[in-house]
Every structure is written in structure tokens, then in C-alpha cells.
Amino acid sequence: MNDLQLQELTPKITPEAFYEAFRKAASEVFSKPDAASYSRGQMTELVTSDAGVFTRTIQLLGRPELEGRGELYKIDYTIYDKRPIIGNKVEYRQPIYVHALIEHELGRNPEEEFWKLLHHYAPLKVLVFYSDVPQQFLDGFASTYHQVSSFHPRVASEQYLLICGNPNWNGRDWVAWRTSDFHDLKPL
């Protein structure tokens, strides 16, 4: 099956279809007798839990191939401009310009961290991982990049930096590669 056939099997969710399903799901979930007295935390749970509004929305969309999960793709570290900031409440201010997103994986599955980087935008995306044989991961990253890119076009100015350390950690043995499209990994 080629990428075009995969895309045809996975039609987009339209805003209208999502909103209709969301309204029905919210009506069902919030109809619980004590829902009006829930705290903010309880309301968040009511919306995002496995039995919540978003899960019910997916069910009502009638798309059995879909599933969801809350708090997915949190980024380990973000580098951004201090100014300007959007928002009027200090605790909710968000940077306008993100320079780099950084993921760090000490374990044996840096692929999960790489996925996170693929689904966010920044001009520079950095993955730090550890392996005696980094080539197996580099090949996997390239394959994943191309698969995801067939569904979500990349921004031409994106750059990736992959930094690999020795798993027997001494803090000195690092190798790195840069690329913009995973067709050509350039050692640094």
C-alpha cells in the first residue's frame, strides 16, 4: 500500500463533523447529575479521561480507526525569545517565537522522542539520545520522517540535529548529524 492509498483510507476530520460530535458528546457527559458542581480539575478529567468528552467525540465520529490520548507529545525543553509574549496573565503567557525544541532520551526508545519533534514546529529540532550503534536509529528516524511527511508536509526551513552519546556515559563521546529532509545526514 502506498502513501496515497494510506491517505485515502484516513480522511481528514472536518471542523463541522468534529463540532457536531463534540456537542453530542459534551451533552451526554455533562448530563451527569452532579457535573455542575465539579471543580476545575474534575471538569478537566470529565473532558480528557478515557470516558470523557473527547473519547466520546471520537466514538461519535464513527471512525473506529481513530483513538486519542491526553497530554501526548509534551516537549522536554524549548528555547524561545523572551520577548514579545502573547497574553495578559503572567502565568499563561506564551512565547511568540520558538527557536528550538529539544528532546532527550536516556532509554532505549528514542523513536518516541523523535515522534514528538515531528508533530511540532520549530526552526530547529534537537534529539539527544544514546547508542553504541546509532545508524539503526538514524535509519529509523529517516523512515519515520518520510512516512509522517507524506501526511503532514514539512516546512522547508526546518532543521534537525541528532546528537548521540555513548551509553556508557563519560560526558565526552558525542557524535552529531544535521539534516533538513533526512535525504542527506551531514556529520558535524
Residuewise pLDDT in 10s, the chain (188 residues): 444 444 454 567 888 888 999 999 988 887 877 767 778 788 888 888 888 889 999 999 988 888 887 766 688 888 877 665 666 666 655 666 788 999 998 888 899 899 889 988 889 999 999 888 899 999 999 998 988 888 877 788 889 999 998 776 666 678 899 998 888 888 88
What angle do helix axes 110-118 and 134-151 make, rounded to 10 degrees? Answer: 30
In the chain, the number of structural domains is: 2
Domain match, 40 and 97 both: no
Q: Do 96 and 144 sit in the same domain of this protein?
A: yes
pTM above 0.75, yes or no: no
110 & 180 share domain: yes
Q: Cα(127)–Cα(172) distance, rounded to whole angstroms? A: 17
C-alpha cell at 179: 539534516
My answer on whether 55 and 101 are in the same domain is no
Look at residue 5 in the predicted model and tell me its pLDDT: 45
Residue 134 vs residues 79, 122, 137, 176: alpha-carbon distances, Å: 26, 24, 5, 10
Pair 55, 82 in one domain:
no
Q: Assess whether 105 and 44 both reside in one domain.
A: no
Residues spanned by the domain of 39: 3-60
